[in-house]
A and B are shown apart, each in its own frame.
Chain A
Amino acid sequence: GENVEQHPSTLSVQEGDSAVIKCTYSDSASNYFPWYKQELGKGPQLIIDIRSNVGEKKDQRIAVTLNKTAKHFSLHITETQPEDSAVYFCAASTGTASKLTFGTGTRLQVTL
């Protein structure tokens, strides 16, 4: 089955700096790669996603890049703000049921 590895497990940045979280996947058939943000005591919420036919996608301060050859994808957050502090999960899926395999999460802390 699919295996998704995520790094780093914790990340601390100063407000205004950029944050980068990286994930690798094992199944070359995976074709959908979402990123979820989870705040304390809440369920994960989709912040951005990318499909395998696209190399990069951007939404305001958030961007995701995908390298299919190397089987890795990354989340980039620019101009970080305190409200960006949360746990971020990457995931990969394949097939019509879109079963998601998640990474182990990155706890991002944005300090003033």
Chain B
Amino acid sequence: NAGVTQTPKFRVLKTGQSMTLLCAQDMNHEYMYWYRQDPGMGLRLIHYSVGEGTTAKGEVPDGYNVSRLKKQNFLLGLESAAPSQTSVYFCASRLDRDEQFFGPGTRLTVL
């Protein structure tokens, strides 16, 4: 099993550009999460999904959209990137117990 994978690993955007981050898990997990990690602030929840076709807002959802069309994939979109969205983005998934499994992260820089 590959676990949780994230694509791409690194990306540089210009202000106003759009992009989609892909998270994929092969563990048949129901729950999936997107977090951002900034220096000195820990990880903060952006959006999450409790199952295929469902999404919900987390702590810092503004400027992001998500979709969960397939159970194994959770997409995070930035429609118009801003420098404040420079961060490391982590995806996580969970079955029914509490433990969340994290992917390796995507480092995004917005110039």
Contacts and interface: CB of A to CB of B under 8 A. Distances in A.
B98 A32 contact: yes
B100 interface: yes
Given A43-B103, A44-B90, A89-B42, 4 more contacts: A46-B101, A51-B98, A98-B100, A99-B33
B52 to A, nearest CB: 15
A100 B40 contact: no
A45 B58 CA distance: 21
25 contacts: A6-B42, A34-B100, A41-B105, A42-B104, A42-B105, A43-B92, A43-B103, A44-B43, A44-B90, A49-B98, A89-B42, A89-B43, A96-B50, A97-B31, A98-B31, A98-B98, A98-B100, A99-B33, A99-B45, A99-B48, A100-B45, A102-B43, A102-B44, A103-B42, A105-B42
Interface of A: 1, 4, 6, 9, 32, 34, 36, 41-46, 49, 51, 89, 93, 96-105
B8 to A, nearest CB: 15
Contacts of B31: 97-98
B42 A102 contact: yes
B100 A100 contact: yes
B100 A46 contact: yes
Interface of B: 4, 31, 33, 40-45, 48, 50, 56, 58-59, 90, 92, 94, 98-105
B56 A97 contact: yes
A98 B102 contact: no
A7 to B, nearest CB: 13
Contacts of B43: 44, 89, 100, 102
Most chain A C-beta atoms within 10 Å of own C-beta, residue among B31, B43, B100, B101 = B43
Most chain B C-beta atoms within 10 Å of own C-beta, residue among A6, A45, A96, A100 = A100
